[in-house]
Amino acid sequence: MSTNLPPVQAQNPNSTIPPINLERIEDPKNPFFKTSLKAYMNDLLKQYLQSIQKLFKLINGTIEGKTNSLPNIPEALNDLLEVNEKLNSALPYLINHRRIQAHLDAIDHELVKEERAVFKMIEQLQVAKANLYQLISKAEGKQSEIEKDRVVDIPTVLSYAQRISATTSAPPNFDNQSRNIPAEPPYPGEVVMRSGLLAHPDLIQPLRSKLDRDGEAVDMLNLDQSEVKVDDDEQFIHKDDADRVYSHFGTDHSAPRDSEKVKALFDEFDFSGSDE
């Protein structure tokens, strides 16, 4: 195991014990190279305890007058001194280990703080992601609506232009650069609009649509002229097998059919609003 940590000094600055770092722990000359420091220190403490117990036992035997205990006292003292020397030699390793462990604990504390910050950032990113998905979904919906509304076929545009041309087209030989206002403006005036059918809803029957054989709604505004026929009695235009829609005009800007009957219908209607 390699590390960039500087060597840790012993607690006593005047001590002759050399500093130890993590590389020293992997040294084969290390007394606990093949085992852990905890196991090595536990083994030394057990030997130290056994040596002290043996020495006290021999001393007690000598006090009690046992002659065979006295010769073994020097040997027990040597064993105790040997274990004590091993403990002294392992002390700097223990000090260095404690300092390294404290350093690792500090690193672990920093990692926990960074992990919490990362989790908080992840939560914020998830909220931002959800908001972005919502915005993208709304934008896609609007885009699809725009694309859908943008598709208009040419016949529909021409048919609509023909229907509104009477009130949107300029009169013949009208000069756009001229400031002279024509006697009859190219749009319906208030009097014309008040005398129109839209001002009299009682004359307009409800607009209804009916599904044709293909299951699509019949659009009465896009009927072909050949498919439209006029009812002589009620002045309706309609498509075969479709509900009738009240109108006094054809599908294009040409003169309406049976114009005499249409004029007679308007002549019979009193636009003054009187009951007579």
* Mean pLDDT to the nearest integer, 236-258: 40
What confidence tens digit (pLDDT) does each residue in 100-137 have? 888 888 889 999 999 999 999 999 999 999 999 999 99
Token look-up 């001393």 returns 59
Tell me the backbone φ, ψ of residue 191, rounded to 5 degrees.
Answer: -65, -40
| Res 122: pLDDT | 95
| Res 80: pLDDT | 84
Contact between residue 169 and residue 188 where contact means Cβ atoms under 8 Å apart? no
Short-list 88, 100, 90, 106, CA closest to 37:
90
| Non-local CB neighbours of 162 within 8 Å, separated by 6+ positions | 251, 252, 253
| pLDDT over 60 at 3, yes or no | no
* Mean pLDDT to the nearest integer, 145-150: 78
User: Predicted confidence band at 244 (pLDDT cuts at 50, 70, 90)?
Assistant: very low
| Res 269: pLDDT | 54
| Res 116: pLDDT | 94
How far, in Å, CA of 58 to CA of 155, rounded?
Answer: 122
User: Predicted confidence band at 220 (pLDDT cuts at 50, 70, 90)?
Assistant: very low
Alpha carbons within 13 angstroms on the beta-carbon side of residue 137 total 6
| pLDDT over 60 at 23, yes or no | no
| pLDDT over 80 at 66, yes or no | no
Tokens of 163: 């229907």
Beta bridge partners of 8: 20
Q: What secondary structure, in 3-state letters, does the chain show?
A: CCCCCCCECCCCCCCCCCCECHHHHCCCCCCCCCCCHHHHHHHHHHHHHHHHHHHHHHHHHHHCCCCCCHHHHHHHHHHHHHHHHHHHHHHHHHHHHHHHHHHHHHHHHHHHHHHHHHHHHHHHHHHHHHHHHHHHHHHHHHHHHHHHHHCCCHHHHHHHHHHHHHHHCCCCCCCCCCCCCCCCCCCCCHHHHHCCHHHCHHHCCCCCCCECCCCCECCHHHCCHHHCEECCCCCEEECCCCCCEECCCCCCCCCCCCHHHHHHHHHHCCCCCCCC
What confidence tens digit (pLDDT) does each residue in 182-210 have? 566 666 677 767 776 666 666 555 443 43
Tell me the backbone φ, ψ of residue 35, rounded to 5 degrees.
Answer: -145, 180
